[in-house]
Amino acid sequence: MNLIPHRPTPEADRKPMPWRHRLARGGVLIAIAVLLALAAVLPEREARGDAPGDQVPRFMSVKQSPANVRRGPSSEHEILWVYRHPRLPVEVIAEHQDWRRIRDWEGDEGWVYQALLTSRRSVIVVGQPATLRSGPELTAPAVAIAEPGVVADLVACAGGWCEIDADGHDGWVDRAAIWGVYPDEVVGE
């Protein structure tokens, strides 16, 4: 059996594609690229719970570290401080395009790029050590004691109690002992 090598057609034999077809093909490719980009970005924004028009104020958490906090809503503004601990709770108090003005548990305010925040809720123990209890009442047995500055995942809140998970220690704590949830806010129901 003899194989005949493939020889490309000489340039003179090729017909150029009309400009209308080239333009249409390019337009379709651009449209597909835009749709793929939107499909990748929109679900991520919804998963973060940080879409334009969300309620302000609202609590969120620092997603990753380091997270620069700036004087204004752009990367051109001066860095005021840097969060080096992910999961810290912050309160979003204003928005400007992809930037969020935040307030932390100490009352300090600045601007953070929205991609550095997550809707996954956390709280920080403030004031005195907080007793985690097995149920939402003072008579429930103590599970652990969380020192001020402990950051915990917020599981649920009802009445004057919130359920938190601090490094695998799950329990209910008096709402007044934590920062990162509003006084009458119901979470997880």
Q: Can you give the pLDDT at residue 18?
A: 59
Average pLDDT over residues 2-25: 47
* CATH number of the domain encompassing residue 164: 2.30.30.40
For residue 6, the Cα-to-chain-centroid distance in whole angstroms is: 55
Main-chain dihedrals φ then ψ at residue 142, nearest 5 degrees: -75, 140
Q: Can you give the pLDDT at residue 168?
A: 93
User: What is the extent of the structural domain holding 93?
Assistant: 58-120
pTM over 0.75: no
Residues 107 and 156 in one domain: no
Q: Give the count of beta carbons closer than 10 Å to the beta carbon of residue 155.
A: 16
Domain assignment present for 9: no
Q: Express each pLDDT in 19-52 by its tens digit.
A: 555 545 555 444 444 434 444 444 444 344 566 5
Residues 85 and 129 in one domain: no
- Asked if residues 156 and 168 have their Cβ atoms less than 8 Å apart, the reply is no
Q: Is the pLDDT of residue 153 over 60?
A: yes
Residues 114 and 141 in one domain: no
Task: Tell me the H-state helices in 52-182.
Answer: none
State how far the Cα of 44 lies from the Cα of 51, in Å rounded to an integer: 10
Domain assignment present for 49: no
Q: How many domains are there within the chain?
A: 2
Average pLDDT over residues 89-103: 98
Domain assignment present for 101: yes
Residues 110 and 133 in one domain: no
Residues 141 and 108 in one domain: no
Domain assignment present for 184: no
Residue carrying structure tokens 């969380």: 146
- Asked if residues 149 and 179 have their Cβ atoms less than 8 Å apart, the reply is no
Q: Express each pLDDT in 111-148 by its tens digit.
A: 999 999 999 999 999 999 999 999 999 999 999 999 99
Proportion of the chain above pLDDT 90, given as a percent = 70
- Asked if residues 88 and 62 have their Cβ atoms less than 8 Å apart, the reply is yes
For residue 178, give the nearest of 143, 145, 149 by alpha carbon: 149
Residues 101 and 67 in one domain: yes
